[in-house]
Structure 1
């Protein structure tokens, strides 16, 4: 035995001296520099002969460089398969590939190679587990065989190696599908757990005699296995076990839950509609959904063919079945041409190999190309004539709809049952406004055109603003201008407008300038840049449509200016309404709040002045007046007002120049007479300037008999003769009046 090792050592030393190998693969047997006469060794792993040819000539695809899978926990049996007449022993070494690749020559002794088996037969049984000194866990290892056995003619050195991969037993990872309720298609996924050389796959049922078993040796993943058609629809259970190539493998078995074979029958597809979108050439076709079932969509041009090319689908997709129907997007070559479609149902997991007419839709749908244009201020929709020979459909009518941007219906037109009527006109459009139309051909299944966008144009004149007025807000010192349309005169809605415009002048026929614009939602303004007590202002209104056209001006209106002169007031005759003024009224108002206290004159038609002379003193010394105008019957229901003016009526002070305090009931007292007097102070002097009498009151209307009765302060009668009086009077407006004079006292 030592002689064998010594000979091997010499050979190995020679190899080391002659060559130094570069490792580019898992393993290269370290024997490339062996002396002449050396032949390749041979051995088996678990009874399976490995195809070992030297070192594989450095070829990574040589059989000895392709790993043989061994499961962790297995015991592998190695056996020399070379016939020899002299049997001096066979050595095996196992070590990690990284350790082996670091060598420059074959292992020389068992001590350096970690494992040595020297038996006459060359057999060796090696457990693959952590108790083995060479084993470090799942991964790549190299088995090396060396011997000095002869073949009967000479002593030949045999040498071989084989890469193995130790894998950790894991449950196989699969997915599966039931195909048209007739068979099961499972897939071994590309997963690290699927690392076996071979799999045993069983499709079992306790209630059926048909229980097929398959042995699969995948060359790549994912790998598909089909059960083949089942003769019945019994529930099935899949069991899968992974195995290594060279022996049994203690791998976990995958067992599926019971799989129902009663569903997933392929339904013939049903097409209910096709509808164009806002994208050119794009349509959405509505097809009844069915989970996991594949669809093929076919297209034809009815101008060129009446049949479909079922070998060349336009589109292939798988139904998602998240809703009752699939919306399938198709694109046509020319949006101005008509195209028709049919669909075919296929099992996506188990696709058919030939076309099956039984899986083709019973109906076809055809597009409805359409256009819109503005003609004579109206929008006209036009479309191509419906086909009369489509499969599964009969023409019923056309329908045109006007829709909003959010997809809701804005206007529906009456259906058109004449197949040859191919236009419809919509007069109800506004210049500058965007509209969306669609045309629907009803065959039973509906064909909707693409969304047709257009902006309306018009040469029509715009409706004038009929009802305009100017109202003075006296306390705020502003003028409100407001306008409305008369209902039923073609008035626009706010959505049909860009703005209202307000023009202003200082006289009815003067030059007007643009004052302000407002949005269509606001049809009034307040003009703050006015002096309402000094002059009248005139206005008119217009509006602009979405084409930026401006309407003709409304009738001009002017604010009411009232002015006063002593006891009379006058106001401007220009109407504050675009409609005529019916009449005026004169109101007494609170100047601070503008609230009407009393109407002094009413129903003044074509009268523009009012005199206050006839008003009783009870109306007050100071009166604030405002004119209120009422329009004739029409679209304006609000009255207008003027500024507020003040009428001042002077106070009146009278007194006698003599009195006779003789108790005869006539002129017995020197008293004051007057109107609008609020306060009074009275002082009487004798001829020497001494005060003989004084009295005062702050409420003269309630104390009007204040005065001198001819008695002195000491209670004696004053002497007959001349006296001097001084009066200080304050009227109801706070104005003070001083008066002096003489009076004669006689008995």
Structure 2
């Protein structure tokens, strides 16, 4: 019924409005393109149209419906929509009209920001939906910007700012806004270069390490290089992230030529701040060879007032410290054929340093090496051990030993590739051996003959009845000063040193105080001098003291503390076997312990007074045996 009433109403023809109806936004402005979320009202453009006589369906695709209460619509999704008007015009003909509108999406506009030095920020609109953008920089300044292009803005003061971005379409009246916060960069610290070290010495493939401090993670840094004496620094590498340790490695660079290095502060915007670190200069070195000498050369540091001193390292050990003006060092303490590795460190003021490449060179020579010092000594097996001491600055390839007996000629003994040699010949106290040696260095040059060395030959006589040992020995040959002799006495079974007696330059000695705790004694002579740490030993002689056993013929086990035990007493007894028999030949006591005797009991009961038979066998450390049989009387 409602529709029929409408259709019966006569309205003025809409001849002045070919679209039949128009769309208006919330501000009453006519719009033909809408935005998602924008409130739109449709209205007939006839001059005598009555709002209560017109109805609208906002989306033909979901079916036509003309509610009489809905006069406006808000679209929530972008797309193309067909709007249908139903109106009673009072005129014959069609009373239903359509128009198609476009609804545009309204996502929040996006942008990125790059904070730069000196309170400068670069903005870039990354959004591609809208046609126009305006930025409000948060300090009252607003500017129209284009998408995809950088817009720079420099704040007067450091701080945090809220940035507003407004976006709009060319054919739509809606605007969309989004906000972001930016924090300007902190004030710039002046970077510091603490040290420079050449790690690979090469023309184009060299490498070095810079140790820096006072670096800031908010900034980037250019490594810059210039020839020595030039102010034309060139950027050779960008550090886009600050190393936590402050260690910067530079590769594929020329380290054979001295260069100046520094850091310049930059940022993500590529700003040349003009803020630099101190300059460090690389210090490559070269080595030249001379006769048993190596010379290290380097270029002078450009500003000698910065140099505290130069430190010369050889094989990672400090060899010499030189003044700031030095540019060379001659190491004359090198051996032919031995390789040496050097490094020069320029110690600078403010605890900075520049360390050269580690360069190695082998010593050369045409002059034979200095002769060595030979030393002969007996070991515990009475074999001669030979040692050749060569000068510190010489190398060793091979040692040739010669030997003579008494006053005979020297003959070749053997060749070895080390300084020690064992003469395994059997010991003979009547044959005094003497030795000498030559050696060949790593360059194939042979030294002159060493000193002659003859170890001490020790002999001795043991007088058991007087309990003394007479010693005599030959003089040692080979030390550079007068030898001093010390007599050492050891337990031959355990090797324990029992006594040591200095006898000066004497070559005889009588020991009248033989040790009573050790049966087997070993004597040898230790040879020393006042001006040498070297020691030589003579051969060892062995003295075996006799062992004894005393057996009582009676005992009285009455607990009076006198002769209560039948026991064997003596010196140096090691193994024993004691047996006691009754008159019927039965064993009533047996012991294998040298300190254990018979207490006069049989099975825990007192044995009868009378005579008993014993047998006794004992042995000492030297393998000697004592056997005794007899009788002992048990009395009360």
Other structure's SS at 2:319 match: strand
Which residue of structure 2 aligns with residue 377 of structure 1?
292
2:618, 2:315 → 1: CA distance?
Answer: 76
How big is the shift at 1:632? 4.7
Deviation, structure 1 residue 180: 0.4
Cross-structure match for 1:457? 363
**Does residue 1:213 correspond to 2:142, yes or no?**
yes
The SS at the match of 1:256 is: strand
Q: Does 1:278 align with 2:183?
A: no
Written as runs of structure 1 = structure 2, the 5 A alignment for 1:158-557 is 165=105, 167=107, 174-177=112-115, 179-181=117-119, 183-186=120-123, 201-205=135-139, 211-214=140-143, 216=145, 218=147, 220=148, 224-226=150-152, 228-230=153-155, 232-233=156-157, 235-240=159-164, 245=169, 246=172, 248=174, 254=179, 256=181, 259=183, 263-264=186-187, 276-280=198-202, 281-282=206-207, 291=216, 292-293=218-219, 308=232, 313-317=235-239, 320=242, 329=250, 337=257, 339=259, 346=266, 348-349=268-269, 351=271, 359=274, 370-384=285-299, 399-403=309-313, 410-417=318-325, 422-431=327-336, 432-438=338-344, 440=346, 448=354, 450-459=356-365, 466=373, 468-473=375-380, 477=381, 481=385, 491=392, 509=410, 511-513=412-414, 517=418, 555-557=452-454
Residues 73-104 of structure 1, C-alpha deviations (whole Å, 9 max, x = no match):
555779999xxxxxx999875xxxxxxxxxxx
CA distance in 2, matches of 1:449, 1:255: 49
Q: Which of 629, 644, 655 is matched with 2:541 structurally?
A: 644
Distance in 2 (alpha carbons) for counterparts of 1:337 and 1:49: 73
The separation in 2 between residues aligned to 1:90 and 1:586, in whole angstroms, is 132
Cα offset, 1:470, TM superposition: 1.8
2:493 to 580, 583, 592: 592
Q: How much has 1:236 moved relative to structure 2?
A: 4.9
Indicate the residue corresponding to 2:49 in structure 1: none
Is the contact between residue 481 and residue 530 of structure 2 (CA under 8 Å) also seen in structure 1?
no
Q: Distance in 2 between matches of 1:463 and 1:599?
A: 37
**What's the TM-score once normalised by structure 2's chain length?**
0.55
- Cα pair 2:282 2:354 within 8 Å, conserved: yes
* Structure 1, unpaired ranges of 5+: 1-41, 51-67, 82-87, 94-109, 130-134, 136-140, 150-154, 206-210, 388-392, 519-523, 652-675, 682-696, 702-728, 739-747
5+ long unaligned stretches in structure 2: 1-20, 46-53, 87-93, 554-566, 572-616, 630-636
1:44 to 1:285, Cα distance in 2 relative to 1, 3 A: farther
3-state SS, counterpart of residue 204 of structure 1: coil
The aligned residue for residue 635 of structure 1 is: 532
Q: Which residues in structure 2 correspond to 1:47-86 (within 5 Å)?
A: 49=32
Alignment deviations for residues 401-447 of structure 1 (CA, whole Å, 9 cap, x no partner): 323677xx713432154xxx753323244552432233649799989
The number of equivalent residue pairs is 509
Relative to the length of structure 1, the TM-score reads 0.48
Deviation at residue 457 of structure 1 after TM alignment = 0.5
- Whether the 8 Å CA contact 2:549–2:568 is kept in 1: the answer is no
- Contact 1:172 / 1:188 at 8 angstroms: preserved in 2? yes
Alignment RMSD: 6.6
Q: Deviations over 1:495-547 (max 9, x none)?
A: x97899897979684542357958xxxxx89x797866899887778999888
User: Is 2:459–2:541's contact at 8 Å kept on the other side of the alignment?
Assistant: yes
SS of the residue 2:377 aligns to: strand
Greater Rg by CA: 1
Secondary structure in 2 aligned to 1:413?
Answer: strand
Report the Cα distance in structure 2 between the residues aligned to 1:234 and 1:616, rounded to whole angstroms.
97
- Verify the 8 A CA contact 2:310 2:345 in the aligned structure 1: yes
Contact kept in structure 1, 2:486 and 2:500, CA below 8 Å: yes
What CA distance in whole angstroms lies between the structure 1 residues aligned with 2:435 and 2:42?
115
CA–CA distance in structure 2, aligned partners of residues 585 and 446 of structure 1: 57
Work out whether residues 43 and 79 of structure 1, in 8 Å CA contact, stay in contact via their aligned partners in 2. Answer: yes
What CA deviation, in whole Å up to 9, does each residue of 1:348-406 have, x standing for no partner? 43747xxx9xx37698766555422122222212234666xxxxx57676954323677
